[in-house]
Amino acid sequence: MSGLVVENLTIDHGAIRAINKVSFKVPQGKLSAIIGANGAGKTTLLRTLSGLKDAQSGSATWNGKSILRQKPEDLARSGIMHVSDGKSVIAELTVKENLALAGLWRKDKADVAKATDEAIELFPRLGERLQQSAGSLSGGERQMLAIGRALIARPKLLLLDEPSLGLAPLIIEQIFQTIKTLTAKMNLTVVLVEQNAIGALKIADEGVVLNLGSVVAVDNAQTLLNDPAVRAAYLGF
């Protein structure tokens, strides 16, 4: 199957089993939200998919090829971009330099320039701050910069870890809408890890609900949003 297929994935985080036999699929071009409370294992899952962490057992494939036990830089170069949680920018570098990182290794410099222009068009705030250090940006601007940088690599699979974390409601709305637009426009496949379940499910095609490292529900995002049992038990509203 084309897309991301995760089967029986088990990951330990130190002495703790963070992810236990997790299976889900994200078809190409779709947006899946992985939701669950703090400590559900969402970040550990993403870090394994991007090569930052090793899995104990199970499999994960992207378009039929295994992505486990590979270096994060190789996965990034093959089009799997992970925007890690918090403020995934290098504070000491300028906005322009942060953007350039994901294009340094690309041969097609003309397309890097084009992708950079597109990222700036998408987030005009970045364009106004190109020479500023990324450390001087607000939380929302940093998130824009992190996503903008990922786009410069022309990714196929985007792994987003808590893009809404610590942002004001208005900015969250804007970031979520941008993610949805991008997914359609660039034919991206997106795994969106979020504590903000409602916001994430609203823009997602599918939802995967994690609880203490296990999948407790997988369904159409709309269905999950309207399921009283899921809402009460895991979404908290």
113 contacts other proteins (rule: CB under 8 A): no
Is residue 164 close enough to count as binding other proteins by CB under 8 A? no
CB nearer other proteins, residue 73 or residue 111:
73
Q: How many CB atoms lie within 10 A of CB 177?
A: 12
**Interaction of residue 121 with other proteins, rule CB under 8 A:** no
Q: Is 93 in the site for other proteins (CB under 8 A)?
A: yes
Q: Which residues of 62-93 are buried (b: 16+ CB within 10 A; e: fewer)?
A: bbeeebbeeeeeebbebbbbbbbbebbbeeee
Name the region of 62 (left: φ>0; alpha: ψ -120 to 50; beta: rest): beta
Q: Which of 124, 135, 169, 236 binds other proteins (CB under 8 A)?
A: 135
**Residue 130 binds to other proteins (criterion: CB under 8 A):** no
Is residue 172 within 8 A of residue 179, CB to CB? The reply is no
Report how far residue 211's alpha carbon sits from residue 196's, in angstroms, rounded to the nearest whole number: 14
In the bound state with other proteins, the residue whose beta carbon lies nearer, of 72 and 127, is 72
Stretch that binds other proteins, among 23-31, 46-54, 169-177, 203-211 (CB under 8 A): 46-54
Task: State which of positions 165-204 bind other proteins (CB under 8 A).
Answer: none
Distance CA 100, CA 140 (A): 19
134 contacts other proteins (rule: CB under 8 A): yes
CB of 188 to other proteins, least distance (A): 16
Among 27, 39, 72, 127, binds other proteins (CB under 8 A): 72
Task: Look at residues 21, 40, 30 and name the one whose alpha carbon lies nearest to residue 194.
Answer: 40
